[in-house]
A and B are shown apart, each in its own frame.
Chain A
Amino acid sequence: MSMLHASHANDASSAGTTAPPTASLMRWVIIATLPGIIAMTYCFGLGVLSNIVLAAALGVLFESGVLYLRKRPIAPALNDSSALLTGVLLGVSLPPASPWWLIGVGMIAAVVVAKQLYGGLGHNPFNPAMVGYALLLVSFPTYMTLWAPPQPLISDTLWAQIMGTLPIANIDALSGATPLDAFKQKAQGMPAFQFWASDPLPDGTLEAWRLISLAWLAGGVLLLCKRIVSWHIPTAMLGSLLIMATLFYMADADGFASPVFHLLTGATLFGAFFIATDPVSAATSRRGKLLYGAGIGFLIIVIRNLGGYPDAVAFAVLLMNLCVPLIDLYTVPNPMGHPKRILGAPR
């Protein structure tokens, strides 16, 4: 855990809390996800909550299981709520009412492999929730692209979907595409305005995604105000995303989606405030954070516009996680009054 973040969290949380800095940090992040979770539940039904509850419970279960096997103290690790947060983040990333085994596989990849096998909290080079998400997206593409259109709070098939007993064909009939997915699959050469005129999405889909994105933004602003995340990563990420999207849009307005579309659909705002800012796997110095965030925004647009996947937050974050040691090496802050350090000189 970065000391920078921990101390911020400590200042910010009200005096008198006995929780250690990490725990209070993680709890504030969980609180900040509430607007987004409420908006998602309002738009996509109780399946969102079932995802989160299942993922969080399994996260805590797997975390204690591995800690027991590693003969490490279990209580402090559970008390910091990081496994819970990983569960919440993976839960909101998955299509609503995902089957239990899908969530289980994702949480094993996230908590057991990506976090604990690398040494536990603070040692994981990759964002655990995004490792779980990427593994599921690569392994089970049919389940991972089944986003139901906006629907009432309780759907008839909710229980069957969670238990995995609903045949895949039925789920397929229930589900639509996310706006990003639909745009990706538009016919080759069809101009964008013609695509939107053809009413490609079920009613209210685009509005639902905008509402959810704005709710994530509200949670993100809370994190910024509480100084739990610094402004560097979200700003750099959204800035480079908008610049890249504008460049693509200016080059070919018929072929590529507009910058606003990229900003307000998919996981852009969620990723900017809740995924990219993970203090363990992100860059540490301020300059490093700017570079890291800008890299994520750049990669998201490149993969969305030129790659094979409709959304790219998970892949972009994981790829930039991979660059963090290099970024950290070249962005060590210069101590005040010391001569400028030469790059690559031994420390």
Chain B
Amino acid sequence: MSQWHTLTRQGLWTSNPALVQLLGLCPLLAVSTTVVNSLGLAIATLFVMVGSSTAVSLVRNQVPSAIRLPAFVMIIAAFVTCAELLMAAYAYPLYQLLGIFIPLIVTNCAILGRADAFASRQPVGLAALDGLMMGIGFGSVLVVLGGLRELLGQGTLLSDMALLLGPIAANWQLTLVEDYQFLFFVLPPGAFFVAGMLIALKNVLDQHSATRTLPAAASPRAERRVRVTGIIK
């Protein structure tokens, strides 16, 4: 059971695809202008991640390693097509709004990365859990980023949720600041800025908890690990 716990923790926090591995940044930065856009793409990505991880794990012993990457891409593409058709069927306005970024889920390297690095070597149950947790980790960062950018850029939250959830959500929009627009956060540079701030926040939280749990273990380590984010010691 502890393996399940580790996988959950890795997917959601310690190796979060968006905040630590920095994978799949293209859709993350391009789509996260509002909560509804982010949530739509987050759900689609989650679906593809769980589906492709499970399927890759199922066929892992049949696929020769020489052609494994094309095979995984085919599997992922099949799930992306499913997600695209489902979205077109049940959330058509959002499908139009997200446009090219739904088919582009297939190029999200977080998905192929997990398929190759984890799902192709692990039993089905663990692979599915890993896909689920990585998907939730990616999706939650996407939604938080979308929320922050919507708030800072337009002064609203949850606007146009009806695009995804239907007429029930028609009145969900919270207008926190009237007559407000700060275009920087709506435009792509704002996505880079807010994503950078989220990464910084994660590092601060990690450092804080590290000093609290292990106050004596502050000895400098000899080697320096090469990583993009996280606490660089």
Q: Is the interface of B mostly helix, strand, loop or mixed?
A: helix
Give CA–CA (A138, B189) in the complex, Å. 10
Cβ of A18 under 8 Å from chain B:
no
A308 CB to nearest chain B CB (Å): 14
What residues of chain A lie closer than 8 Å to B187, measured between beta carbons?
138
For this complex, into which size category does the number of interface residues on chain A fall? under 10
What residues of chain A lie closer than 8 Å to B193, measured between beta carbons?
113
B107 CB to nearest chain A CB (Å): 27
What residues of chain A lie closer than 8 Å to B172, measured between beta carbons?
none
Give CA–CA (A140, B187) in the complex, Å. 12
Cβ of A139 under 8 Å from chain B:
yes
What residues of chain B lie closer than 8 Å to A138, measured between beta carbons?
183-184, 187, 189
Q: Is the interface of A mostly helix, strand, loop or mixed?
A: helix
What residues of chain A lie closer than 8 Å to B182, measured between beta carbons?
105, 139-140
What residues of chain B lie closer than 8 Å to A105, measured between beta carbons?
182
CB-based nearest B residue for A105: B182
Cβ of A135 under 8 Å from chain B:
yes
Give CA–CA (A194, B104) in the complex, Å. 50
B168 CB to nearest chain A CB (Å): 34
Give CA–CA (A150, B189) in the complex, Å. 35
B140 CB to nearest chain A CB (Å): 25
Tell which of A105, A113, A135 has the most Cβ of chain B within 10 Å. A135
Give CA–CA (A139, B193) in the complex, Å. 14
Within 8 A of A (CB), among B179-193: 182-184, 187, 189, 193
Give CA–CA (A139, B187) in the complex, Å. 9
Within 8 A of A (CB), among B146-192: 182-184, 187, 189
Residue-wise, chain A 133-167 has the 8 Å CB interface mask toward B (1 for contact) of 00100111100000000000000000000000000
B166 CB to nearest chain A CB (Å): 34
CB-based nearest A residue for B186: A139
What residues of chain A lie closer than 8 Å to B189, measured between beta carbons?
138
Give CA–CA (A158, B138) in the complex, Å. 49
CB-based nearest B residue for A136: B184
Tell which of B182, B183, B187, B193 has the most Cβ of chain A within 10 Å. B183
Give CA–CA (A141, B183) in the complex, Å. 9
CB-based nearest B residue for A113: B193
Give CA–CA (A17, B68) in the complex, Å. 72
CB-based nearest B residue for A141: B183
B72 CB to nearest chain A CB (Å): 37
CB-based nearest B residue for A168: B179
- Given pairs A135-B184, A138-B189, 8 additional interface contacts (CB within 8 A): A113-B193, A138-B183, A138-B184, A138-B187, A139-B182, A139-B183, A140-B182, A141-B183
8 contacts between A and B (CB under 8 A): A105-B182, A113-B193, A135-B184, A138-B183, A138-B184, A139-B182, A139-B183, A140-B182
* A-B interface, 4 closest residue pairs, ranked by CB to CB distance from nearest: A139-B184, A139-B183, A139-B182, A135-B184
